[in-house]
Amino acid sequence: MLGRLMAASILIACSTARAETANLFTGAAPVVGVTGGQVVGADSPDGAVHAYKGIPFAAPPTGDLRWRPPLPPAGWQGILAATHFAPACVQALPPPGSFYQREFFHTTEPTSEDCLYLNVWTGARSAQERRPVMVWIYGGGFVQGSGSLDTFDGDALARRGVVLVTFNYRVGPFGFLALPALSAESPQHVSGNYGVLDQLAALRWVHDNIAAFGGDPDRVTIFGQSAGAVSTNVLMASPLARGLFQRAIVESGSAFGFFDRRPTLAQAEHDGADFARALGAVDPSALRAQPAAALLGAAGHIRAWPVIDGWVVPEDPPRAFGRGSENVTAVMIGSNDDEGTALLPAQSAAAFAAAARARFGDGADTYLRLYPTSDDAAVAHAGDRALSDELAAGSREQVHLLAAAGRAAWLYHFDRRAPGPDGSRYGAFHSAELVYVFGTQDSVSRPWTPLDRHLSDVMMGYWTNFAAHGDPNGLGLPDWPAYAPGSDVAMELGERIGPLPVPAPEAAAFFTPYLSRRLTAP
């Protein structure tokens, strides 16, 4: 393990006692004691923020540890230079020139199975400051993503008084392969949620270590977008996460929404058997001997998604929310106005109609009236509106359920059209809010305006106030009313910032009964 750590980071020999360095936050090389040893970070140019990159929070899940729950990291001697990001977990990166590659993946990011590392940004000057902590969970459909993308740089949020943490978790077949033989190896007789177990390991690391960075382990907010939002919902419903965080922000990934596929363990194991047969390697030892590239090549045989396994995810999350048995005291939930423009594949009007009838049965006529496709050219717009409306309805249903269970809850709707020549095509696309939340607009080549800078400033204020107090409101910000079941008010975040009635009421009326069946379906 030490050899891997030395390859990933510079190891500086130092005989200073851990107790003497754990609270040192001055100078160009702050040193902090964490699980496994000591780490040194790097200052921002003005010295206001200390960044620690590539800290191991678990042992490398390689060799015999592939498809096992993460183990604690091995210790090291001396001081680990946490000044560079670790590789992303193994994944197929977006094709060069594709929309999301241009928007987020500016370079070919190195990948490795040795990827369970996290990053911390803090402006604290003492471990006694007890600042609120925000832990980010990236999206990417559970097949892509990392905690080191430029969009997720934590400097701007750390300047708002929070300690910001990002981390990597296993994706694709490395993170979500379920197989009867793997379940047989498990003391809990389950498999398939290795990526979620990585998330839990990162949160346990935060709980045990974040105070040394000036953070408050009893004031942790998890937040995620898309697959990261689905993960946030899973963690809210998982008994294994109890006590690891207190608040949650769900961006474009409602527990009731289009993205929540909820496979059972039996379904995931069935897919895993197809995956193993495609590789010609049925038993775990033979699969663990396969090169990573071969596993990626067979990834189409499984659905990389959290599994309802009775242990990590005991039940469909909405059921837990309906009983009030979630792990939070306050939530913020919302979605974007054009979720499908950069996300949905092209399809014909006939295929759109057939999918609607297969999914909604007798309700398909109403659905097709709401989203007409007179010809193939209209399908893209219909698909975008349908997905956007369904995610908005799912967000409303979830925030309604949590508010009714006594949780402080806030609902938002982001509708700022992306500036630039492609703005009319993509609008407020899926993921568009991220550079506003993180204050990282300069990571994307778009003609940002003062309006965009102001909107980002407001959103960072809302997000960090929520992390600090469980309420997004604060001095100098437009008032954001808490969600109340009888009022159905969301906060519009766009060219206009202010409360508005929940958008698309007719669509919400269509989707809500369909979505609410999740509470009673077998």
Residues annotated as part of the active site: 226, 339, 430
As a whole number of Å, the CA-based R_g of the chain is 22
The two three-digit tokens of residue 442, written as one number: 């300069």
Alpha carbon distances (Å) from 200 to 195, 313, 369, 384, 468? 9, 12, 43, 33, 22
Angle at 49 between CA 48 and CA 50, to 5 degrees: 130
Only one residue has tokens 């997000």, namely 463
Residues 6 or more apart whose Cβ sits within 8 Å of residue 2: 74, 76, 77
CB-CB contact of 491 with 410 (8 Å): yes
Q: What residues are paired with 18 via a beta bridge?
A: none
DSSP state of 166: E
Q: Where are the beta strands (DSSP E) in 326-443?
A: 330-336, 408-414
CB-CB contact of 355 with 272 (8 Å): no
Q: What residues are paired with 499 via a beta bridge?
A: 491
Rounded Cα distance between 291 and 165, Å, is: 31
CA 238 from chain centre, in angstroms, equals 16
264 burial level (CB within 10 Å; 0-12, 13-18, 19+): middle
Looking at the chain, the number of H-run helices and the number of E-run strands are 19, 17
For residue 395, which of 337, 343, 340, 434 has the smallest C-alpha distance?
337
For residue 472, which of 255, 251, 321, 249 has the smallest C-alpha distance?
249
The DSSP annotation for 414-437 comes to E-PPPPSTTHHHHSSBTTTTHHHH
